[in-house]
Amino acid sequence: MTPPGFAVRAATLADLDAIVEFNARLGWETESKRLDRAILREGVSRGLADPDRLRYWVAEAAGEVIGQTAVTREWSDWRAGWLWWLQSVYVHADHRGRGVFKALHRRVRDEALAAGDVIGVRLYVENENHAARESYRALGFADAGYAVYEELWLDRSGRPSTAPLRTRPD
């Protein structure tokens, strides 16, 4: 059940600007990274156009998007099922602590369970984002015992990007 005052629904292309804005804020607030808005807009647009690539849900109050989340899918050959990776989790600062993320999570979880071939939901969280870690634990998530490593090719050439995302000066 969604708390009163807002509703959770599947995102549409009409939510593009709000999702781009929230993802930009998310990058800054959680990782001190300024995301390239043009690339971000392209990525969100492509995700909204192809739910097999990325699915978004938004929480909305009075016609305004106040929170979001998305999932990507990973096939687990070990478990013969899909893992949904929760990502792009963001709740506008004015609406935090009101159950918005809890409602978004519930919607994603309900849809994953209803799909019949989804075996779980995973996410990654910055080590120092203690508030998020506590929120996830309160919803039943547990440390999976893995560290996430990556090799990013932001210029799509197979070589590390020479233009890393901008970060806050120390």
Instruction: Domain count for the chain, please give it.
Output: 1
Range of the domain at 125: 7-167
The letter for the amino acid at 163 is A
Mean of the pLDDT values across residues 131-139?
Answer: 88
Mean of the pLDDT values across residues 29-55?
Answer: 94
Between these two residues, 115 and 167, which has the higher pLDDT value?
Answer: 115
Cα–Cα distance for residue pair 56/10, rounded to 1 Å = 6
- For residue 139, CA distances in Å to 14, 42, 106, 108, 128 come to 29, 32, 9, 12, 19
Residue 64's pLDDT band (cuts 50, 70, 90): very high
Q: Is the pLDDT of residue 1 over 60?
A: no
Q: Residue 1: inside a domain, yes or no?
A: no
Mean of the pLDDT values across residues 6-13?
Answer: 97
Predicted structure pTM score: 0.84
Q: Residue 2: inside a domain, yes or no?
A: no
Q: Kindly report the CATH number assigned to the domain that includes residue 18.
A: 3.40.630.30
Q: Residue 70: inside a domain, yes or no?
A: yes
Q: Residue 92: inside a domain, yes or no?
A: yes
Mean of the pLDDT values across residues 113-124?
Answer: 95
Q: Residue 127: inside a domain, yes or no?
A: yes
- Residue 79 CB-density burial (10 A; 0-12 exposed, 13-18 middle, 19+ buried): exposed
Q: Is the pLDDT of residue 82 over 50?
A: yes
